[in-house]
């Protein structure tokens, strides 16, 4: 489906993908959730001064940054560096495609995903704040706490995925694109001095 194209980033295959897309976000997301909710005086999640409201501004700014990076990547058609395939022994590929992704296409998918995810997270936090106010008086304390934990863990795992993916994109821009391909050892990592 056309509207879900930015989420094709999740389908990209690479041998370190599980580390970046699953393991690290789970560890950081669950850890952050425990930190927020298991304290003696838990951090307020919902409301005008809650955790979600505080994140909305940051996520909105990040969304603009990601869109600007996407525009830069896709409009710089004369840059032969971005037209080359991603290097390494196991370059990233999409399912059912034999050729590795070009750098431009990989970064396009990455920053397209980051743009869409940050906008979706802003919308999700707005909706969650509105629903929480309406739903809270209608359910028991136990159900409210369970729903809160499920929502916060899910939200924080996605936030951690967004953070890890952002750091991956920044690594690619700041270091990997600046290195000549012949300095990349098999496995996609620079040789150690």
The structural domains of the chain, with segments of one domain joined by +, span 7-181
Position 134 confidence tier, pLDDT thresholds 50, 70, 90: confident
pTM of the model: 0.84
Position 164 confidence tier, pLDDT thresholds 50, 70, 90: very high
Share of the chain above pLDDT 70, in %: 89
Alpha carbons 26 and 150: distance in angstroms, whole number: 13
Half-sphere exposure of 192 (CA within 13 A, CB side): 0
Average pLDDT of the residues in 53-66: 92
Average pLDDT of the residues in 105-134: 92
- 22-55 pLDDT, tens digit each: 999 999 999 999 999 888 888 899 988 899 999 9
- b/e code 9-25 from CB counts within 10 Å (16+ = b): beebebeeeeeebeebb
Q: What is the pLDDT of residue 187?
A: 54
The better pLDDT of the pair 79, 126 is held by: 126
- 84-94 pLDDT, tens digit each: 777 777 888 99
Alpha carbons 99 and 107: distance in angstroms, whole number: 16
Alpha carbons 163 and 150: distance in angstroms, whole number: 20
- Only one residue has tokens 């990076």, namely 69
């Amino acid at each position: 489906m056309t509207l879900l194209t930015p989420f094709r980033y999740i389908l990209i295959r690479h041998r370190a993908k599980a580390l970046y897309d699953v393991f690290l976000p789970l560890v950081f997301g669950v850890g952050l959730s425990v930190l927020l909710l298991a304290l003696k005086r838990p951090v307020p999640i919902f409301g005008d001064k809650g955790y979600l409201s505080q994140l909305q501004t940051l996520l909105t700014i990040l969304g603009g940054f990601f869109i600007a990076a996407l525009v830069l990547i896709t409009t710089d058609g004369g840059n032969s560096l971005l037209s080359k395939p991603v290097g390494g022994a196991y370059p990233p590929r999409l399912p059912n495609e034999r050729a590795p992704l070009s750098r431009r296409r990989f970064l396009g998918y990455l920053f397209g995903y980051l743009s869409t995810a940050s906008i979706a997270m802003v919308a999700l936090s707005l909706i969650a704040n509105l629903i929480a106010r309406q739903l809270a008086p209608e359910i028991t304390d136990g159900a409210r706490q369970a729903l809160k934990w499920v929502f916060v863990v899910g939200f924080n795992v996605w936030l951690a995925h967004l953070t890890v993916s952002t750091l991956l994109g920044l690594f690619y821009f700041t270091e990997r694109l600046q290195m000549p391909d012949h300095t990349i050892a098999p496995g996609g990592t620079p040789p150690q001095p």
